[in-house]
């Protein structure tokens, strides 16, 4: 069981909740926080392990779509539970122009409710459940998308970003 009791899949923030605080150093040592991005939509995707096939496909998809997110005024952050050095190599390998943040003690993963007990081939272990969040400019969760397959995360995030923009334009 994790320190925060995150074994319940419904733990962590849901749509409408304030986003938990996120403050991690990127591979260059720069601190990245949600607070510093307030006023913008932010996509945060959590990958189970850097340099693995599925996580690489997902991170590459976000890298390839970064221009489209930026055109919509959104920032993209990747988070992995690996050491900083591995996160840096991963960011370089996928040509990430967004921060790939390391969370080796999984404190941020726990706050977001993505650090959970998992099972594979009958073996139980703790790890990150592949999840993407979209945080609106006011700091509230607009999307929580969980899916083991990496392919759906970018379209789900883009749709949420577009919905936020549409809602903001209606309000004038």
* pLDDT tens-digit readout, 119-129: 889 999 999 99
Say what the pLDDT of residue 98 is. Answer: 97
Say what the pLDDT of residue 47 is. Answer: 98
Superfamily for domain range 23-171: Glutaredoxin (3.40.30.10)
Say what the pLDDT of residue 172 is. Answer: 61
Torsion of CA 84, 139, 130, 151, to 10 degrees: -110
Residue 55 among the catalytic residues:
yes
Say what the pLDDT of residue 109 is. Answer: 97
* pLDDT tens-digit readout, 2-14: 333 334 545 899 9
User: What residues pair up with 57 in beta bridges, in sequence order?
Assistant: none
Do 124 and 117 meet the contact criterion of CB atoms below 8 Å apart?
A: yes
Among 5-9, 13-17, 41-45, the minimum mean pLDDT is found in: 5-9
């Amino acid at each position: 069981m994790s320190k925060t009791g995150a074994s319940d899949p419904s733990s962590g923030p849901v749509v409408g909740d304030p986003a938990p605080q996120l403050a991690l150093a990127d591979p260059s040592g720069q601190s990245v926080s949600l607070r510093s991005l307030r006023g913008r939509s932010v996509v945060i995707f959590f990958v189970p392990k850097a340099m693995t096939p599925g996580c690489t496909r997902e991170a590459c998809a976000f890298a390839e779509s970064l221009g489209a997110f930026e055109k919509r005024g959104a920032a993209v952050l990747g988070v992995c539970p690996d050491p900083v050095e591995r996160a840096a190599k991963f960011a370089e390998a996928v040509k990430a122009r967004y921060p790939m943040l390391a969370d080796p003690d999984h404190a941020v993963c726990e706050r977001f409710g993505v650090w959970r007990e998992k099972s594979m081939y009958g073996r139980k272990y703790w790890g990150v459940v592949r999840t993407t969040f979209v945080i609106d400019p006011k700091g509230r969760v607009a999307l929580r998308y969980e899916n083991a397959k990496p392919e759906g995360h970018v379209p789900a995030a883009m749709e949420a970003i577009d919905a936020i923009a549409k809602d903001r334009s209606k309000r004038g």
